Structure formats: C-alpha cells, structure tokens
Chains A and B, each alone.
Chain A
C-alpha cells in the first residue's frame, strides 16, 4: 500500500485547523506520535496556551491483558482546562479507545468548553462513537488489525508514516 507523505498531511491538517482555532484553544498530544505532531501543530498554528501532553497508560481499558508499562510518562497539562476549548492530537485514530482514555484523563483536570480530535490518518476500524473533526487523510479501506500504522520522527525532526506487520 502506498502511504501518503506525512509532511504534506501536516500542511493539510494545519490548513483545516487554522480557521477554527480561537485565542484560548489548547492542544494536548497523546504520547508519543501524537505528542510529536502536537508540538509541530502548536508552533505552526502559533497557539498561545502552553502545549499539553498525555500518556494514557493508566487509563487504558485493556490493562488486565497487557499489564502496566513501567515507563509511563508523566502527563503534563500546563493550562487551566476548565472552560477552555481543547484539541486532542494523535497521529492515527483506530478503535477510538486511546481517544476515550485521553478524554477520561483530560476531564480529571477540569471541564473543558469543548474537545475535538485532530489526527493525521484515520485508519478505520472504530469500536467507539468517536470521530476526528480534523483529519488529513482517511484510508479508503480499513487496515487489518495485525497492521500497525504510526508516525515516526527522524533526527532532523522530519516526519514519516510507517506500516508494520505485527504478526
């Protein structure tokens, strides 16, 4: 399968988001791919609120199957969530379970005015009623469950998408 070029998708995503960004909008990236992407969007969109990061490890719904990761990152929400529009940023949306976990965690910091989701790629296969308001690319056919699509960042900070077979 031919993968779209990540840098082009980021440009499209920035163009989609720009008209909807208000003075108090804040971005929260989901560790790790989403956090990289959020960092780039934060700079390109000149967001005033400091950038947030979330590691959803403690909010996953499949902990009993996967166990706890020892290297979970500390979540960092350096702005007042209460009453603020927030955009959760992830590289790829799939089942929607990660987004659900991020929403739960975000609400433990306060009640946001609204929450949207921004992703580079929607790979299909949703298992929850979750949709990305900003999405640069939707795959025509959902990816098979054994394929893992993710964002990678090289030493110079350039992004690329990578497809990995997990079985």
Chain B
C-alpha cells in the first residue's frame, strides 16, 4: 500500500477514509467541487452523468438513515446504480467475513463501497484488501467507523461553515458535547485545524472527553458558558446514549442543565454565530428546541449541503 492510502500516485483522491492525513488542497478541492453541485437540485432533471454506468454499494453494518439516504441520493444524482445492502439480514449474519463479502461484491463489478461499520478501521481494512488484490479502480468511502472518523460529515460541516463565514482563518469554533464517543467530533477537529481555524474549543464534561484531547490542537473547557464566549460557530454533538457504558452522566436533565445549548447560553457567542448539529437531535438533552428551530441554526442547510459534498467526494474518487 502507498504511504497515504487515501491518495493515488498522482496525488488525487483514491479512497476517503478520514480527514486526518488529507492534504489541505484536497479538502479545499472537495469543498470547491461541491459548490456547483448544489445547483443540480433546482433542475427539472436532477442528474449529472458523472457516475453513469458505475455501481455504488452502500455497505451499512450499523444503522443510519440520514447518512445512507444522502449517500444514495448523491450517487443517484450522479447517475450511478446504487445497491443498498441490508447487512444485518445478509450473509454476514450467516458468518461470512467482511472481506469475503467485499470480494463477492467486487466480483459483481462494484466500483465504489460506502461503508459504515461499528468497528474503527473497517474501511481501512477494505481499502487495504482492494490494494492487496490489485483492484485500483474500486474505491472506498468511510461513512462512519466506530469512534474513529466520519469524514463526509466533517466535510459537509466545513462546507456549511464556509458558506456562512467564508474565511476559516478568522474563526473561533466550539465543538460541544460527547466528544469521547464521537467520530464526528474527531473528523470536525481534524478538518478545522487542516483548514487553518486558529482556535478550536472542545466543550464537554470531563467524563465525555478522550484523554489527551489537547493533542488534537483544541482548547478544553468544562464550563460551557466560558467556552461559548465570543465564538463564531457552535458545533453541537449528539449525546450518544447507545454507545455509553457505565454511568458517565448523572441524567439527561442534569446534562441539559450544564451542556444543553439554550438561548441564554448561545447569547454568549457572537451575535451572528451559527449553530450546527449532525443529527439526529436529542431535543431537550443537548439542544433546546428554541435554538434548534431558531434563526441561528443551520442544521437543515447542513443536510442539503451534505448531498453536494458527497457528490463531490464520489466524483473525485471516480475521476481521480
């Protein structure tokens, strides 16, 4: 495998596995490529021929509605054939290994895999296997692996921030909530630092922060009010109840009191600050409905931009 498994020999995008390790130029190229794709949704025929004749396999080993749907829409707007594998009811349940599944789908002329897996590194394993079996024209997109990375979410968040704020190098951005369990947070932090955001803040209770989180280049705050002061962008995370083991939190009500985004806490940020959330939201836990539905929230535009960003990633993979 080449030194950077995500890039081909010409420095183009070969797989999208994580934002960590992606050169800044590639991240910017993805955002730039996504720009004209936002217009396709306004056409009579919402299709471009960029992936015509290609087969995209959505391999979701873990549940997801929004991510799978937006990948499916993105691939279909590029004219690809999309095959959704409901993995929990497929051969994996009968004992087939991940790589056997991949080999079988490659034998069915798969051109691209969109992979969501509960284990960190599963998409890397597939990419490595495709390299080892000399399948240079089959590409992998990580749609979320364990606690590791969710690069297209990080990229669509960057697209959203750029859309409203233009210049990354003047911003203070806060990532708030369950950073410990969040692959989204990791992708966001890597993307923000790659794009030159001078101050990234991590706001969370001690129990929901990974050890040595400062090494990612963030300033840590345990007091949300202090952390939100003067920020341009508030990136809320979902409280991942399903990933929690043991008693990391007293109760959702207690969490909301200290780390839920309410209008009075948001008032400490800059007046034109925007609020992002990757969804699905736990209203009344990490975010108050008044904020989620308020004028500073850009949560629904995030979803729309997510389609254009996923179109950009898939076209860049297919056309190197």
Q: How far is the CB of A64 from chain B (nearest CB, A)?
A: 7
Which of B42-50, B114-122, B228-236 lies on the face that meets chain A?
A: B42-50
A72 touches which of B12, B36, B45, B47 (Cβ 8 Å):
B36
Q: How far is the CA of A59 from the CA of B50 in the complex (A)?
A: 7
Q: How far is the CA of A32 from the CA of B12 in the complex (A)?
A: 25
**Are A75 and B320 in touch, CB under 8 angstroms?**
no
**Are B49 and A59 in touch, CB under 8 angstroms?**
yes
Total B residues in contact with A, Cβ cutoff 8 Å: 19
**Are A74 and B38 in touch, CB under 8 angstroms?**
yes
Question: Interface residues of A toward B: which range?
Answer: 20 to 34
Whether A129 is near chain B, meaning CB under 8 Å from some CB there, is: no
**Are B319 and A68 in touch, CB under 8 angstroms?**
yes
Contact indicator per residue, chain B 37-81, by CB within 8 Å of chain A (1) or not (0): 011000111011110000000000000000000000000000000
Q: Which of A38-74 contact B (CB under 8 A)?
A: 55, 57-59, 63-64, 67-68, 70-74
**Are A58 and B50 in touch, CB under 8 angstroms?**
yes
- Among A67, A70, A73, max chain B CB count under 10 A is at A70
Q: Which of B1-45 contact A (CB under 8 A)?
A: 12, 29, 32-33, 35-36, 38-39, 43-45
Whether B276 is near chain A, meaning CB under 8 Å from some CB there, is: no
Residues from chain A with Cβ under 8 Å of B49 in the complex: 58-59, 104
CB nearest to A82 among chain B residues: B44
Q: How far is the CB of A14 from chain B (nearest CB, A)?
A: 30
Q: How far is the CA of A57 from the CA of B39 in the complex (A)?
A: 14
- Among B33, B38, B320, max chain A CB count under 10 A is at B33
Q: How far is the CB of B185 from chain A (nearest CB, A)?
A: 27
Whether A108 is near chain B, meaning CB under 8 Å from some CB there, is: yes
CB nearest to B48 among chain A residues: A58
**Are A68 and B33 in touch, CB under 8 angstroms?**
yes
**Are B33 and A109 in touch, CB under 8 angstroms?**
no
A73 touches which of B12, B36, B45, B50 (Cβ 8 Å):
B36
Whether A76 is near chain B, meaning CB under 8 Å from some CB there, is: yes
Q: How far is the CA of A15 from the CA of B44 in the complex (A)?
A: 34
Cβ-Cβ contact count across A and B, 8 Å cutoff: 46
Q: How far is the CB of A79 from chain B (nearest CB, A)?
A: 13
Residues from chain B with Cβ under 8 Å of A74 in the complex: 35-36, 38-39
The verdict on A68 contacting B316 (CB below 8 Å), with A55-B36, A76-B39 known, is yes
Residues from chain A with Cβ under 8 Å of B48 in the complex: 58-59
Whether A110 is near chain B, meaning CB under 8 Å from some CB there, is: yes
**Are A67 and B45 in touch, CB under 8 angstroms?**
no
Q: How far is the CB of B78 from chain A (nearest CB, A)?
A: 9
Whether B315 is near chain A, meaning CB under 8 Å from some CB there, is: yes
**Are B32 and A71 in touch, CB under 8 angstroms?**
yes
Q: How far is the CB of A104 from chain B (nearest CB, A)?
A: 7
Residues from chain A with Cβ under 8 Å of B12 in the complex: 67
**Are B50 and A70 in touch, CB under 8 angstroms?**
no
**Are A110 and B44 in touch, CB under 8 angstroms?**
yes
Q: How far is the CA of A107 from the CA of B47 in the complex (A)?
A: 11
Residues from chain B with Cβ under 8 Å of A72 in the complex: 33, 36
Residues from chain B with Cβ under 8 Å of A64 in the complex: 319
- The 5 sampled A-B contact pairs (Cβ below 8 Å) are A63-B50, A67-B320, A71-B32, A81-B44, A110-B44
Q: Considering the complex of A and B, which 7 residue pairs feature the smallest CB-CB distances, nearest first?
A: A108-B45, A74-B36, A68-B319, A70-B29, A58-B48, A74-B39, A70-B32
- Contacts from B to A (Cβ < 8 Å): 12, 29, 32-33, 35-36, 38-39, 43-45, 47-50, 315-316, 319-320
